[in-house]
Structure formats: C-alpha cells, structure tokens
Amino acid sequence: MALRTVLVSDVPSLPDSVYGLSEGLELSKPTSFRLPGFSVIGHRGIGMNVLQSSDRRARGVKENSILSFNSAAKYPIDFIEFDVQVTKDDCPVIFHDDFIYSEENGIVNESRVTDLSLSEFLLYGPQKETEKIGKTLMRKSKEGKVLKWDVDLDDSLCTLQEAFEQVEQTLGFNIELKFGDQTVYEREFLVHILRSVLQVVSNYAKDRPVIFSSFQPDAAKLVRELQSTYPVFFLTDAGNEIHNDERRNSLEEAIQVCLEGGLQGIVSEVKGVFRNPAAISKIKESNLSLLTYGKLNNVGEAVYMQYVMGIDGVIVDFVEEIIESTTRMMIRPPPSSSPLPSPSKDDDVAITRPEFSQKEISFLLKLLSQLIQH
C-alpha cells in the first residue's frame, strides 16, 4: 500500500464500513481502566540494549525478545513495554528500530522492517531451529556506526502472537505502535496497519492487561476509534526534541491530543515532566494517567520523586534494581513469588511512607529541574 504525503486531519471521515472498522474483530465490551498503584514497567522486557555501553546490564539479554519478557516476569512488575511494527504481509512483529542491518561478504545491508515479509524478518539473528544459521544481526548506533548486535543472552526475533502465547500470562503488555517519525500517513493506511495488530490482540490477549501507546498522534486516536476495550496512551518527548507535528512538542499539546481523541493517558519523557511539573496537575484534572520513560528512570531517587509527585508509573531498563529500590523506599513488600527478600523488622528502613509538604516538593522539583539542565 503506497504512502502519500497527506495530513490525516485533511482526509474526509468516511463511514466505518468503508474501512471495515467493525468487521472481524471480536473484542470484549469496554472496561474501566486504572493502573495498579505505582507501576514499574520493563522497557523492551528486562531492559533495552546499548551495544557500546560499559554497563553489562545494557547488553545482558536481547531486548524485545521472549527471553527478555520472561526474564522481566520474574520480578513483581505490572507490565512490559515493547515495540510493534507490521510486515508487508500484515504480520505484527516486535522490533524497535525502523531499519534492520546485516553483513554479508563484508557489505552491510539495510532493510526497512515494514518492507520485509514475515519470513524475511525472521531470518535475522538466532534461529528457532538450532540447525539453521540466521543472518548476522547488526544495529546502527546513535553515532551512526553499524555494529554487531552482541549480548550475553541472545534470542530469536518474535511476533506479537508468539509474545501472547509464550510470555507469563499475568504480565501486562504495553504495546507501542511504531511508525516513522518523518512520514505522514493517510488514514486508510493507518487503519489497515492497526487492524492487523488488533486482530492478533483479539485472538490471543484473553485476560491479559493491555495498554496501547504511540508517538503518532493520528494512530493513537485511530486505535481508540477502532476499539474501546483497551486504554490508549499518547507518547511524547515533551519538547526534548522538536518535531514538525506541533502535537508532539509539549505536554500541553499531549493533553489536547488525549482530550480530542478520548485517550486514557500520556507517556512522557521524564525530563519533560521534571521541567514542567505544573503539567502533572493539569493531566490529573483532565482525568488522564501519566507514565514516564527515559534514562533518569534508572535512578531510584528519581523514580521515588515521581512516586511522591503522583505520577502513575515508570518505564525502566534496570528492572531488578528499580524494583528493589522502590520496594524499600515505598515500603511495598514484594509478593511471596518475588525473588527479592522481604524487609525484616531489623532492617534500617522506615515503616511508613514519608510525608512531604507542598513547599518541600516545590523545592525538590526546582532542584531536579536545575540538575537535568546539565
């Protein structure tokens, strides 16, 4: 299906039957949604990979894999977050980057994930059949270098269906719907892609908690139009980067997107929230939930500050460390199935949640705001 440069808002709204919005999907009736307290969400499973990092945790387990998801499920977290794209033969697959790289005979080859068929996509990296050898999987760094994707514990690429079938059933899924930042999509194309994802969710989600999210504002609104079973959050970097689409450039714009589209919440880059803490009350007054993502969420103190501020949850890379930190700071005893020990009476920790005055919170927010400028 060809892409054309056209604003979705300029495309006339046609009857649902034209796009087949109601055909073939058997999602359950709408249910009320509320995050289970302060939520810790595993980023791409147990954490994203940073290939050149000196921190082994950033290269421990292959991100966005069944192995990574089930590794995260060993800890008392509520959700994992992962990225879904749709292949050219309409199969939702889990992969973050727009492009996938491989090297053959000394030449690096680049392919857009959405231009591949499912069978072509699955040829990269380790294969499920041990006797088969896949294409060398590589990745482009932020500096533009193409490096071999080496991790301590590798795993094969996977589909959304496989995640529903093979990941611990009690673990919620935060499904990020991935679209190109520089592409303007027409409505018909977005509907086609989103229906492919929703069909898999309809067939395999069962009772698993699911949240949809997307940086693409029109896709976020459309997935809310297409179904009312699962909550939809709008992703924003809240001004840390400037985009041609003004709706992506601030928390105030994000609130407006949610209110116009009937969305349930916002996922913001954490620095954007610390720089603009007044937006939290506006988000709450709009009856929206607020999650955050970003490197600061791997710092226990920054996570605790968000808990104090009333943020609903954080997406983190260092799942084990943040769970341990929040368990102690928030005095949230882990369930009996948790691998973390429960605090004993002799532990030198507080037994109640500390209270902060508004003046103290304002001071801490100003301090944080100054710190993240550097």
pLDDT digits (tens, 9 = 90+) for 317-352: 999 999 998 888 764 444 444 444 444 444 443 334
| 72 located within any domain | yes
324 versus 374: the higher-pLDDT residue is: 324
Distance of CA 155 to the CA centre of its chain: 20
| 192 located within any domain | yes
Residue 367 has pLDDT above 80, yes or no: no
| 51 located within any domain | yes
Give me the mean pLDDT over the 301-316 stretch.
Answer: 93
Hey, how many other C-beta atoms are within 10 angstroms of the C-beta on 215? 19
| 185 located within any domain | yes
| 70 located within any domain | yes
Total domains in the chain come to: 1
Tokens of 35: 């995050």
Reported as half-sphere exposure (CB side, CA atoms, 13 A), residue 228 has a value of: 8
| 4 located within any domain | no
Residue 261 has pLDDT above 80, yes or no: yes
Distance of CA 142 to the CA centre of its chain: 19
Confidence of residue 197 (pLDDT cuts 50, 70, 90): very high
Which among 240, 237, 274 has a CA at the least distance from the CA of 254? Answer: 237
Which among 292, 323, 219 has a CA at the least distance from the CA of 35? Answer: 292
Give me the mean pLDDT over the 239-245 stretch.
Answer: 92
pLDDT of residue 4: 32
Reported as half-sphere exposure (CB side, CA atoms, 13 A), residue 350 has a value of: 8
Produce one character per residue of 302-321: b if its CB has 16 or more CB atoms within 10 Å, e if not: bbbbbbbbebbbbbbbbbbe
| 181 located within any domain | yes
Of the chain, the percentage scoring pLDDT greater than 90 comes to: 71
Task: Report how far residue 296's alpha carbon sits from residue 128's, in angstroms, rounded to the nearest whole number.
Answer: 35
335 versus 203: the higher-pLDDT residue is: 203
| 306 located within any domain | yes
Task: Report how far residue 240's alpha carbon sits from residue 249's, in angstroms, rounded to the nearest whole number.
Answer: 8
Task: Report how far residue 7's alpha carbon sits from residue 71's, in angstroms, rounded to the nearest whole number.
Answer: 41
Integer angstrom CA distances of residue 122 from 49, 127, 129, 136, 374: 19, 8, 11, 12, 42
339 versus 244: the higher-pLDDT residue is: 244
Give me the mean pLDDT over the 203-225 stretch.
Answer: 97
Residue 29 has pLDDT above 70, yes or no: no
Range of the structural domain that residue 288 is part of = 39-98+158-330+362-373
pLDDT of residue 366: 62
Confidence of residue 110 (pLDDT cuts 50, 70, 90): very high
Residue 10 has pLDDT above 70, yes or no: no
- Domain with residue 236: its CATH number is 3.20.20.190
Which DSSP category does 52 fall into?
T
Confidence of residue 102 (pLDDT cuts 50, 70, 90): very high
Task: Report how far residue 297's alpha carbon sits from residue 289's, in angstroms, rounded to the nearest whole number.
Answer: 17
| Chain mean pLDDT for the chain | 85
